[in-house]
Structure 1
Amino acid sequence: MSQLAEGARPERITTERLVLRKIVPEDVDAMVALHADPDAVRHRPEGLRGAEHSTRLFSAWLDHWNEFGFGYWALELVGTKELVGFGGLQMASDDWAGTYLNVFYRLFPEFWGRGYAPEMVVAAVEWGRRVYPHLPIFIITPTVNVSARRVAEKVGFIQVREAFFQGAVNCFFRSPG
């Protein structure tokens, strides 16, 4: 298990409008519902995969938290605790980039266009830079996902590559610094 410095565990981070909190097993139904929404996954090459696949994926998210002490958060509105989606950072690696922090964000469609994804990404990158300053941080998104690409650019990520990855041609955006 990767050990984080005392105080570096990101179980709860608050931004102006969001609470980024550690996922818990009770969040699985919301994650399954999100991944069952055809609009939410329309840019994923695998599309809708069913509850069993989403449950396994959620279990992998929990495993990442257990192994590394951080991972994808449940994203809630400050004050109301209404769940808007999931996002955060996970440790990843591949032959091209080596070890890096992968930024992920997926929101329920009714929360799109309100700036929540960029707000979460900024908080995640600030935490990642502080705790893992030696690791590059990437957003990898299918080239057809114009909205996700716009988020990456809005928060200052720079496109450094376009390549086939996880079943589709993807844009690789790297955080500067």
Structure 2
Amino acid sequence: MTELRTDRLILRRWQDSDLEPWAAMNADPEVREHLGDLLTREQSDASVARFQTEFDERGYGWWALEVLATGEFIGFAGLDQVDDGMPFTGVEIGWRLARSAWGQGYATEAAVAGLAFGLEALGLPEILAVTTATNLRSQAVMRRIGMTRDPADDFDDPAAPEGPLRRNVLYRIARGTKM
């Protein structure tokens, strides 16, 4: 499995020691604000098992994020196939960080590494990013890493209930675009 390093982060394989802080993140209403229901410990652990299986099958996926200087687990970032049932297909980039890691540029740093891997090493022609229309922080990261949005691509997530999580925005970046 590919491990990525940035100036401050390691994007690496998941470890058993990540399960507890990952479950705490998934039980945090602020972290889950734009994602839907809180996850139980069992659901959270199952997500990591799924991430590992998908990574083994494809050679990419959701990396665990570790702060290089301290070894602290702070969340995830990476690439994933767009879910079935969405009004588009392709590979998307994403991130989720613990509140203690917000506002420090980690999401942007990890996303740049993920984009470079996807566009250069994997040779993907394009990478997408999706978030709720109300998730302004993630949209700011998308713009910082060179992604662009066409409002005509905005959509209602067919899996989301009516409410603030239903309307989503779609950002794109093509290979050869300056990040």
Q: Normalised by the size of structure 1, how large is the TM-score?
A: 0.86
- SS for the counterpart of 1:152 is helix
Indicate the residue corresponding to 2:63 in structure 1: 73
Match of 2:156 in 1: 164
Query: 2:21, 2:125 → 1: CA distance?
Result: 31
Partners of 2:43 and 2:68 in 1: how far apart?
A: 30
Asked if 2 retains the 8 angstrom alpha-carbon contact of 1:102 and 1:137, the reply is yes
Residue correspondences, number: 166
SS of the residue 1:175 aligns to? strand
Q: How does 1:1-177 map to 2 (within 5 A)?
A: 9-10=1-2, 12-44=3-35, 46-92=36-82, 94=84, 96-98=87-89, 100-160=90-150, 161-165=153-157, 166-167=159-160, 168-177=166-175
Give, in angstroms, the shift of residue 50 of structure 1.
Answer: 1.7
Sort the Cα spacing of 1:134 and 1:79 in 2 relative to 1 into closer, same or farther, 3 A: closer
Alignment check: 8 A CA contact 1:22 1:71 kept = no
Runs of 4+ in 1 over 4 A off after TM superposition: none
The structure whose residues are more often strand, as a share, is: 1
Mapped to 2, the partners of 1:49 and 1:79 lie a distance apart of 29
- Provide the identity percentage: 28
Gaps of 5+ in 1: 1-8
TM-score computed with the length of structure 2 as normaliser:
0.85
CA RMSD of aligned residues (A): 1.7
Displacement of 1:93 after TM fit? 5.3
What's the CA shift for 1:51?
1.8
Instruction: Note the C-alpha offset of 1:141.
Output: 0.5
The CA distance in 2 between the partners of 1:13 and 1:117, in whole Å, is: 14
What whole-Å deviation, never above 9, does each CA across 1:92-144 have from its counterpart, x for those lacking one? 3556333x221110001111111100100000000001133244211100111
SS of 1:55's equivalent in the other structure is helix
The unaligned stretches of length 5 or more in structure 2 are 161-165
